[in-house]
Every structure is written in structure tokens, then in C-alpha cells.
């Protein structure tokens, strides 16, 4: 299948902002605020997970259409195993570095807890993916989603995509109503009995965040099987939904900026905070991402056909941005790039704790250097020293 360069560019874009958002430097760094997340409740993880689902739907629906369910399912399950190997590689690599550099272990203790001490229970929990150290919590999502994805892709191919979509929404709603809480309480109680508090550490609720992946999967499968016509759906002659999306985007932007600059009264802030649950992907995160995604898609697809010079210019600018060679380059190898990002974030944290604090100029240089180094896995994998294989698509 011919790769869609702009999708690689989107993934590269979100990888860059993962580094920006995850860098932990004393005193902060101003670059963190040059961020789409400052304008609402859409952050890098939502986009990254959605795009991964979109690519899974596109790639494996095509494979299943041509070669049948079994061929596509085996490929997806092998991909899940590959992601698990990379997850273990992150865990083992960071723990080994903690052993070699005790100063780093102390810097990482809030992120690793007893895993840094090689506590057997934490090692087992990490291997079973129920203890996920800080910034190592995206890949376990993909493992679960890739394991369950084959029948869901098959349903989409068969035209029964509504079962997948409404099932995903039902699971997300169950989490919003707290169906999972008794199970979490039971696990924590058991961990307390064996004197291992913190044994369950999963920041992203997998059953809530699946809505990003599964919605992308459905759209990807419908796109590849011709069940959705994007040119017709994004018709410049019917801009009402785009105007609505823009209005909602502006509401969320005003809400976020107002909270940032402290312009709202305390009672209002307390009320909004109740709905701000990123770990469980509460409604404001889902709604904000949905309207932003629709708005960007509409501008890219319909904008050049509107005859409006402003919209056409914005569409050209977005196309230029997401087709930047660097973003496409790292986006083609997102699994390897994400893995490197984990080591970069941990390394920067250790250096800052032991040799910082640094000036803003130094911190800016460190962050820019970290972003530039994201190209290293892609450079290696596309070099003559690497046995050439088709670039990963999920």
C-alpha cells in the first residue's frame, strides 16, 4: 500500500510534542508553552493513539480483503509481540542504567518506584504490564489494542462497523461511570496486604483510551474499503458542521486559556476540574479532540475547494507543516522513535538532577537537541547498515 506521507507527518508532529511535554527540567523551559495543548484539551497522546488506530484500520483491512482474516490477524498479533519486545527493552534498558548509574536511579525513583531497586514483585508487575513506569505507558495500550483488533477490523470490512464504534463508545461510557473502580480497589487492597503499594500503576485507562484507537481503526477501515467518501463528507458547499466545530474549538480554547491565566472564579474552576480527567479521557478530552480532528480534516480536504483565499492559505500551510521531511521521517518509524524518546526523557532528567539547574538558553538547547536526535532510529533503519524491510505502518 502506498504510504500517506501526511499521516507520517502527523505522527512525527505528535512525537516531537511528546518530547516537549515530557521533558522534566527544574524551573521549566519556555518551549513547553509553544504547544497546541495550551489551546484546549488536545494533546500529543490523543493524536498519536488515534493515528495508530487509523493506520491499523487502513493497513490490515487491505490485507484482510486480499488475503483473508487469518493472514491479517497473524500479522497484527506478531506486531503486538514486537511492541511487547520494545516495551521490555525500555524496562530492561532503564533498569540497567539505574544499576550502572546510582545517581540516575535516585533521580528516577519517583518514576520507577521499587522497580529501580529490582524488587521482584515490581519486576513481575512490569513484565505483566500492570506496573507502567512514567512515560512507558503508551506501548502497553497498543499491545492490548492489537490483540483485540483483528475481529474488529473484520467486522468493519463486512460493513458492520457500527458494532465496533458503538461498542467502543459503550466501554468508554462504562469507565466514565466508574464501573472499573471496584476492581482497582480490590487490586490495591491485595497489593497492600503484600506490602507493595504502588504495584498497580497504569496512568492511561486502557478501556477509556481505546475510543481514540477504535474510532481511528473504524475510519481507517472504512477509508480503505471505500465505505466512506471523504470528498463528499467534507463538502465545501455544506460548511455548517465545520463552523460548529470551530465554535466548539474556540470555547475550549477560551476555557483553557482562562484557567491558565486565572481569570475564572474559584467555584467555576472547581466545577471544571471535576470534568478534567485525562487518565480516563473524560468528555472534554473526547469532544475537544473530535472537533479539532474534524476541523483540521475539513480544512485540508475542503479548504482548497471553497474558493476562499484564507481557507486555501490555511490548508496550504497545514499541508506544508505536516509534510515536513523531518516529521515524515521520524513518523515512518514511530515505534523506534517513541522508544528512543523514553531514554531521552530519562537521560535528561538524570542530567538535570545531577548537573543542573541550567539556564533557559541551556535548557532550550537540550530540548532542541533531543528533538533533533529523534531522527537517529529512522537514519539507522533507512541506512545501508540495516537489512531493509518495509517501514512499519502502525
Q: What is the pLDDT of residues 228-278, one digit of tens each?
A: 999 988 999 999 999 999 999 999 999 999 998 989 999 999 988 888 999
Average pLDDT, the chain: 91
pLDDT given for residue 200 in this prediction: 79
HEC profile for 110-123?
A: HHHHHHHHCCHHHH
Sole residue written with cell 484482510: 64
Whether the Cβ atoms of residue 122 and residue 115 lie closer than 8 Å to each other: yes
What does the DSSP assignment read for 325-345? Answer: HHHHHHHTTHHHHHHHHHHHH
pLDDT given for residue 387 in this prediction: 59
Whether the Cβ atoms of residue 374 and residue 19 lie closer than 8 Å to each other: yes
Q: How close are the terminal C-alpha atoms of the chain, in Å? A: 13
CA 57 to mean position of chain CA atoms: 16
**DSSP E strands, 130-288:** none
Whether the model clears a pTM of 0.75, i.e. scores above it, the answer is yes
User: Where does residue 5 rank: exposed (0-12), middle (13-18), buried (19+ CB within 10 A)?
Assistant: middle
Grid cell digits, residue 174: 462504562
pLDDT given for residue 394 in this prediction: 55
Virtual CA dihedral for 219, 141, 44, 265, nearest 10 degrees?
100
pLDDT given for residue 386 in this prediction: 64
CA dist 188 and 236 (Å) reads 53
Could you say which residues of the chain have pLDDT below 50?
1-2, 391-393
Angle between helices 266-274 and 240-260 in degrees, nearest 10: 120
CA dist 334 and 347 (Å) reads 20
CA dist 308 and 305 (Å) reads 8
Amino acid at each position: 500500500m502506498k504510504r500517506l506521507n501526511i499521516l507520517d507527518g502527523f505522527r512525527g508532529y505528535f512525537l516531537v510534542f511528546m518530547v516537549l511535554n515530557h521533558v522534566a527540567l527544574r524551573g521549566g523551559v519556555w518551549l513547553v508553552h509553544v504547544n497546541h495543548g495550551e489551546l484546549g484539551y488536545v494533546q500529543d497522546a490523543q493524536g498519536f493513539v488515534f493515528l495508530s488506530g487509523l493506520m491499523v484500520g487502513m493497513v490490515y483491512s487491505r490485507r484482510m480483503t486480499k488475503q483473508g482474516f487469518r493472514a491479517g490477524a497473524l500479522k497484527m498479533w506478531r506486531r503486538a509481540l514486537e511492541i511487547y519486545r520494545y516495551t521490555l527493552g525500555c524496562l530492561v534498558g532503564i533498569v540497567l542504567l539505574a544499576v550502572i548509574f546510582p545517581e540516575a536511579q535516585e533521580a528516577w525513583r519517583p518514576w520507577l518506584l521499587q522497580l529501580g531497586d529490582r524488587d521482584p514483585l515490581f519486576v513481575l508487575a512490569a513484565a505483566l504490564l500492570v506496573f507502567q513506569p512514567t512515560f512507558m505507558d503508551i506501548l502497553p495500550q497498543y499491545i492490548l489494542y492489537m490483540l483485540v483488533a483483528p475481529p474488529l477490523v473484520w467486522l468493519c470490512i463486512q460493513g458492520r462497523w457500527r458494532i465496533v464504534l458503538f461498542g467502543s463508545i459503550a466501554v468508554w461510557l462504562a469507565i466514565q461511570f466508574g464501573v472499573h473502580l471496584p476492581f482497582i480497589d480490590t487490586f490495591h487492597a491485595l497489593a497492600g496486604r503484600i506490602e507493595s503499594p504502588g504495584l498497580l500503576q497504569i496512568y492511561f485507562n486502557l478501556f477509556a483510551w481505546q475510543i481514540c484507537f477504535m474510532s481511528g481503526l473504524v475510519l481507517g477501515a472504512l477509508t480503505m474499503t471505500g465505505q466512506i467518501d471523504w470528498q463528499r463528507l467534507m463538502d465545501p458547499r455544506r460548511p455548517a458542521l465545520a463552523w460548529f466545530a470551530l465554535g466548539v474549538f474556540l470555547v475550549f480554547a477560551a476555557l483553557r486559556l482562562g484557567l491558565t491565566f486565572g481569570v475564572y472564579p474559584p467555584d467555576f474552576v472547581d466545577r471544571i476540574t471535576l470534568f478534567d480527567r485525562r487518565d480516563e479521557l473524560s468528555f472534554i478530552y473526547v469532544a475537544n479532540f473530535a472537533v479539532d480532528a474534524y476541523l483540521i480534516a475539513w480544512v485540508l480536504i475542503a479548504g482548497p475547494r471553497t474558493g476562499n483565499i484564507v481557507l486555501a492559505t490555511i490548508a496550504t500551510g497545514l499541508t506544508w507543516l505536516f509534510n515536513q521531511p523531518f516529521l515524515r521521517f521520524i513518523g515512518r518509524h514511530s515505534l523506534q522513535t517513541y522508544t528512543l524518546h523514553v531514554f531521552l526523557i530519562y537521560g535528561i532528567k538524570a542530567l538535570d538532577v545531577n548537573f543542573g539547574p541550567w539556564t533557559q538558553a541551556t535548557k532550550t538547547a537540550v530540548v532542541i537537541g533531543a528533538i533533533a536526535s529523534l531522527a537517529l532510529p529512522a537514519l539507522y533503519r533507512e541506512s545501508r547498515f540495516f537489512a531493509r524491510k518495509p517501514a512499519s505502518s502502525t
